[in-house]
Structure 1
Amino acid sequence: MSAGTEVLLVLTNLPDAESADRVTTVVLESRAAACVNRLPACASTYWWNGAIEHAAEIPLLIKTTRAAYPALEAALRKAHPYEVPEIVALPVAMGLPAYLAWVADETRLPSN
């Protein structure tokens, strides 16, 4: 597998189900992601503007490739309601070769 087709797991959190559905649709329709898993709401506690905040959030697990990541990040930044969204990409060190190939095939952008 080439460096451009290296699979990444991207994490983000949304404030509600409606925005999670919208962001999921945006990243899939743009072909910047092969798959998005929406997890049940979780409790998040974090620093924001000098104070500790508490919020219920909807986590998304997004599967993409290194080559498609810039398009994914751009789509997330545009569609995400947060001023500074969590967008964290983790490399997938190992996985079922057929699954990793599927992610790479499904995220082939027109310029790839």
Structure 2
Amino acid sequence: MATNSSDLLVMTTTHDDETRARALAAAVVRARLAACAQVYPIRSVYWWEGEVQDTAEWRVDFKTRAELADALTGFVNDNHAYDTPELIAVPVVAGSPGYLEWVRAETAGGR
């Protein structure tokens, strides 16, 4: 797992509804803005509208190329139910060479 891959990111968002989280994940992958999206339940505690919130959410992690970050951000903003959806990017610093190449190949057609 020594392959450096500063050109790849894992971008994360959350959603309050599993069905909508899965639909967003599928739409992003279909648009070739991510090679893969993982959807799983989490618990979020955060400050919102003057008080601490504690809610069940669905986290979506997108595996993508760094050059698609702006397009993916716009797509999520345009297709998300939240007024201010979370979207953060974490660089992939290393990984399995075959998997990293697969991510690059599957997102080659992205905007």
Change (3 A) 1:110 1:63: closer
Residues 26 and 75, structure 1, Cα contact 8 Å, conserved in 2 = no
TM-score (norm 1): 0.88
| Structure 2 contact 68–110 (Cα < 8 Å) conserved | no
Deviation at 1:80? 1.1
Code of the aligned partner of 2:89? A
Report what 2:33 is aligned to. 32
What do the CA deviations read for 1:61-96 (whole angstroms, capped 9, x no partner)? Answer: 110011111211111111111111110100000001
1:38–1:61 contact (8 Å) kept in structure 2: yes
Deviation, structure 1 residue 27: 0.4
Counterpart for residue 42 of structure 1: 42
Amino acid at match of 2:11: V
* Contact 2:31-2:110 at 8 Å conserved across structures: no
- 1:68–1:109 contact (8 Å) kept in structure 2: no
CA RMSD of aligned residues (A): 1.8
Judged with a 3 Å threshold, the aligned counterparts in structure 2 of structure 1 residues 63 and 96 are, in CA distance, closer, same or farther, namely: same
Q: Secondary structure at the match of 1:67?
A: helix
Tell me the TM-score normalized by structure 2.
Answer: 0.89
What's the % identity of the aligned pairs?
32
2:83 is aligned to 83
Question: Which runs of 5 or more residues in structure 2 are unaligned?
Answer: none
Matching residue of 1:94: 94
Runs ≥4 residues deviating over 4 A: none
Q: Which runs of 5+ in 1 are unaligned?
A: none
Q: Which letter does structure 2 place at the counterpart of 1:33? A: A
Taking the aligned partners of 2:38 and 2:19, their CA distance within structure 1 comes to 15
CA distance in 2, matches of 1:72, 1:109: 13
The alignment status of 1:62 with 2:69, answered yes or no, reads no
* Match in the other structure for 1:18: 19
